[in-house]
Amino acid sequence: ANIQSTSDGQSGSLGNVGLRHLDFNGDGRDDLALEYQTATCIMFRNVCRESWHDYADELLSTGSSFDVTQIATAGTMGSGPVFEFLNFNSDACTDYLYNSVIYVSGCNGTPATTVTVPSSSVIGAMDWNGDGRTDILVDNGGYIGVYESTGTGLSSLISTSIPYSAGDVYFAFDPTGSGLDALGVWDAESSPASVEYYLHNGSSDLLTAITDGYGNTIKPTYVTLAQGSGSTYTPTSDAQFPYETYTGSLQVVSQVTYSDPSNPPNGTYQRTHYYSGAWMNRQGLGFMGFETDAVYDSRNQLYTQRTFNPTFPYTGMMLSETVTENSASGQTVSSVSNTLADTMLSSTQGSQRYFPYVSGSTQKQYGVGGSENGALTSSTTTSYSYDSYGNPTSISTTITDEDGGSPDYGQSWTTAVTNTPDANTSTWCLRLLTQRVVRYSDSLSDSPAVTEDTNYTADTSSCHYTQIVQQPGSAYQVTESLGYDSFGNFDSDTVTGNGMAARTSRVSWGTTGQFPMSITNPLGETTTFNYDFGCGLVSSMTDPNGETTNWQYGEGFCRVTQETRPDGTYTTWTYTLNTGGPLSRMIVTKQPRDTQGNVIRTTKYYFDMLDRPLYRTDTLMDGLTVWSRVQNYDSLGRIASTSAPYTVGGTSTGAHNLQLRCVESCHESTATDERLGQHAGDVVVSIQRVERGCDEPQRGISHAGLGPEWVAT
In whole angstroms, give the CA distance from residue 276 to residue 450. Answer: 47
pLDDT in tens, 471-498: 999 999 999 999 999 999 999 999 999 8
CA angle 701, 703, 707 (to 5 degrees): 135
| Region 228-244 average pLDDT | 92
pLDDT, residue 629, reads 83
Give every strand in the sheet of 182-187, ordered side by side: 168-173, 182-187, 194-198
The answer on pLDDT for 679 being more than 60 is: no
| Region 82-87 average pLDDT | 81
> Do 56 and 35 contact (CB within 8 A), yes or no?
yes
In whole angstroms, give the CA distance from residue 635 to residue 638. Answer: 7
Pick the residue with more confidence: 104 or 9? 104
Q: Is 86 helix (H, G, I), strand (E, B) or coil?
A: strand
pLDDT, residue 320, reads 98
pLDDT, residue 626, reads 85
The answer on pLDDT for 75 being more than 60 is: no
The answer on pLDDT for 143 being more than 90 is: yes
The answer on pLDDT for 291 being more than 70 is: yes
The average confidence (pLDDT) of the chain is: 84
pLDDT, residue 674, reads 29
pLDDT, residue 44, reads 66
- Confidence band for 588, pLDDT divided at 50, 70 and 90: very high
The answer on pLDDT for 7 being more than 60 is: no
- Confidence band for 501, pLDDT divided at 50, 70 and 90: very high
Q: What's the alpha-carbon Rg for the chain, to the nearest Å?
A: 37
In whole angstroms, give the CA distance from residue 663 to residue 709. Answer: 18
The answer on pLDDT for 5 being more than 90 is: no
- The least confident of 166-180, 368-382, 544-558 is 166-180
Run of H or E residues at 594: none
The answer on pLDDT for 514 being more than 90 is: yes
- Confidence band for 651, pLDDT divided at 50, 70 and 90: low
pLDDT, residue 493, reads 98
- Confidence band for 3, pLDDT divided at 50, 70 and 90: very low
DSSP state of 371: G
pLDDT, residue 711, reads 33
> Do 295 and 273 contact (CB within 8 A), yes or no?
yes
pLDDT, residue 593, reads 96
| Region 297-311 average pLDDT | 96
The answer on pLDDT for 699 being more than 90 is: no
pLDDT, residue 653, reads 60
pLDDT, residue 284, reads 83
- Confidence band for 579, pLDDT divided at 50, 70 and 90: confident
Whole-number Cα distances in Å, 625 to 158, 574, 594, 630: 67, 18, 20, 14
Residues 6+ apart with CB under 8 A from 580: none
| Region 408-412 average pLDDT | 94
pLDDT, residue 146, reads 94
370 φ, ψ (degrees, to nearest 5) = 70, -165
Counting beta carbons within 10 angstroms of the beta carbon of residue 281, is it exposed (0 to 12), middle (13 to 18) or buried (19 or more)? Answer: buried
| Region 258-266 average pLDDT | 91
Residue of 360, 362, 438 whose CA lies nearest to 402: 362
| Region 570-589 average pLDDT | 89
Q: Is 601 helix (H, G, I), strand (E, B) or coil?
A: coil
The answer on pLDDT for 1 being more than 60 is: no
3 state SS for 111-164: EEEEEECCCCCEEEEECCCCCCCCEEEEECCCEEEEECECCCCECCCEEEEEEC
- The least confident of 41-50, 326-335, 418-427, 533-542 is 41-50
CA angle 642, 643, 646 (to 5 degrees): 170
- Confidence band for 396, pLDDT divided at 50, 70 and 90: very high
Whole-number Cα distances in Å, 666 to 632, 634, 653, 677: 15, 16, 5, 10
Give the strand pairing for 302-309 and 286-297: antiparallel
Q: What percent of the chain has pLDDT over 70?
A: 84
pLDDT, residue 119, reads 84
The letter for the amino acid at 579 is T
